[in-house]
Amino acid sequence: MKETVVSRLARAVDAHLRSVAHGNTEWTLKHEEEIERLMDLLPSGSGWDNGTKIDLDRSTGERIILYGGYHHMNESGMYDGWTEHEIWVRASLVSGIDLKITGRDRHEIKDYLYEMFQYALTRDAPERKVVADVAP
């Protein structure tokens, strides 16, 4: 069974917290790099113009907190303001993940954000690249 983006992200966050707690700088950096690679798979663009960020200080292996802003347009197609949102991600025995989205629901944007993040987080994670240390 393939691993989802959210399960790999949760494991990376959990491993990051453990490496920080143990003062292991080398592994802390490796886990941060993995988290950054996974964050590149999350929504960016199409109104979610500044991409998705993670709050590593508040995230755990059981709860991931993402955030960003949506750039709204009016009826004329002109940009007319932002709404800021947090996306709280938790495991669910029924649906795989449970999403809670904070912030103003301007133009019912939360429905769009739910769909966008549900898809991005539950899709299959890409295969990990294995790099061998081979001397020339």
Q: What tens digit of pLDDT does each residue of 78-125 get? A: 889 999 999 999 999 888 899 999 999 999 999 999 999 999 999 999
Amino acid 64: pLDDT? 98
pLDDT at 8 over 70: yes
Whole-angstrom distance, CA of residue 49 vs CA of residue 47: 5
Angle of the 5-21 helix axis to the 25-39 helix axis, nearest 10: 160
Strand 53-54 versus strand 79-92 pairing type: unpaired
Amino acid at 130: V
Contact partners, residue 122, CB within 8 Å, separation at least 6: 4, 5, 6, 96, 97
Is the predicted pLDDT of residue 130 greater than 90, yes or no?
A: no
**Average pLDDT of the residues in 16-42:** 96
Quick one: pLDDT band at residue 25, thresholds 50, 70, 90? very high
Q: What is the mean pLDDT of the chain?
A: 91
- Nearby residues of 116 by Cβ (< 8 Å), 6 or more positions away: 43, 48
Instruction: Return the percent helix, strand and coil in the chain, to nearest 5.
Output: 35, 25, 35
**Model confidence at 16, in pLDDT bands (50, 70, 90)?**
very high
Helix (H, G, I), strand (E, B) or coil at 59: coil
